[in-house]
Amino acid sequence: MGIGSEFVKQIESCGYNLTNIQLKSINNSGHIVGYLTCGKYNEKTKKYVGIESFPFYWDGTIHIIPVALSINFPREDDFKIKINNNGSVLIVPYGDTTSYIWSKENGLKIISDLEGKAINDLNVVLGHNSICVDNKTIAFSELLGINDIYDMAPPYSDTFSIERIAIGREAVLEINNKGQIFCMGYMWGVWYPCILNPKGISP
């Protein structure tokens, strides 16, 4: 996929001067998503300088996804571009609390006030303390049938039950096609990896 490849030729045929290509995710069909940074030629430095970045989807043909990305990423992990096995792409630009889902069939959909972490093959989007199903946001507490994810069991319970669930960038990690959520739970004064098994979240 480097210089001279069919992949790069397709991008350049669209009129883009590439300065950077980053791959972010691949699905079981071999379809790839990532982002491209394009630039203009600087006569002083005799180099191309990056001026804009945008996500792309590639299934043998390049598809530019119409979502603006900052070219100055403080950390690559601060933004998300992920693809599921049905070709839907989750995009969360850096510093944005809005998530975008794009597919060839349905175009671009916007999910407001949800910073997505992951997407499963049912297009369920996982956020820090909620999920989005069919454009409806549901809090973890509602999914689990409890009042408060910070007050799930007595501290230091004999059953080693999860006392509370951590939320935030590093705490909620993935969602699978069964709707199970992989996250961090607090038990006996220590954070442990745990799996939540909410019911009835399939579309």
Question: pLDDT digit string (tens) for 144-155?
Answer: 888 988 888 888
Give the distance, in angstroms, between the CA of residue 184 and the centroid of all CA atoms in the same chain.
18
Q: Tokens 């945008």 belong to which residue?
A: 54
Give the contacts of 160 (CB within 8 A, at least 6 positions apart): 187, 188
More confident residue, 83 or 80: 83
By the 8 A CB rule, do 110 and 154 touch? Answer: no
Query: Which single residue is written with the structure tokens 């630009």?
Result: 93
pLDDT digits (tens, 9 = 90+) for 17-73: 777 788 999 999 999 999 888 777 677 887 766 677 889 999 999 999 999 886 655
